[in-house]
Amino acid sequence: MRWREVIYDIHTSLNQQYDDADISLVQTSYWCSVAANRLLSQHIDKRDSGAFVAAYYNLQVLIDTTNDYKYFVLPENIFDFDKDDGVEYLSYSSTTDDCLPMFTGVKFTRTSAAAAERLYWTEEEKPSPSNPYFYRLKDKIYLLGLESITSPPLEGGFYQTIPAYVIDLDDEFPFPDELITVLQRYTFDFGRFVLSLPKDNTNDGASGQQVTQLPKMNEVQNDINNE
């Protein structure tokens, strides 16, 4: 399914319902992506599936010049799941056998910067080339255990978020088909809520002007639910 097929019905309906709204496709696609990311995060969390895993190969390992820590930058924005589960896997090949996929090689285990200290207390858990770890700081994934070797090519699988703005309406829309109707309803309600806010609430200094009071959130939501 393409972006065009998903948002055109919503876009047309909103412009027809609100006179002089003049909503752009860019605005509609933004509302759609916000709603889609919320629904998709819930969908992924409930299923053990690779349908929405994006694999990246030969991730470039860099060295932080301030502390010599090894890391790579996330290739795209990913979902901020608990325990960094937005990273499905991270691995590198430990053999020279080209017939074996890289994801069957050495796997990285997730840790955190705060919890990593205890890993060095025992030989069994200590980070090493055969037992590497990763931890995340913002958009960087730091690597533990590779300090003594030349960084090998890495492969990673990530649960990416849907971009906030679409570049091409004919691009694929990465979203489960069975949730399209729910997404359209979410997006339509989101758009109606934004458009229901009064616009003539700016004081331009004219005498006798009445400043419109903004509606309360629960009143707007009740209006949307009752329509």
pLDDT of residue 223 exceeding 50: no
Please check whether residue 43 is in contact with residue 180, taking contact to mean a CB–CB distance below 8 angstroms: no
HSE of 3 in the Cβ direction (CA atoms, 13 Å)? 19
Cβ-based neighbour number of residue 39 at 10 Å: 17
158-214 pLDDT, tens per residue? Answer: 999 998 877 788 888 899 999 998 998 888 888 888 777 766 555 555 544 444 444
Taking residues 45-67, report their average pLDDT.
Answer: 93
Interatomic CA distance for residues 140 and 146, integer angstroms:
16
The pLDDT, as a whole number, for residue 36 is 94
- Side-by-side strand order, sheet with 62-63: 62-63, 70-73, 140-144, 133-137, 109-110
Nearest to 31 by CA among 160, 162, 168, 176: 162
Q: Show me where the domains of the chain are located.
A: 3-47+163-199+215-226, 54-158
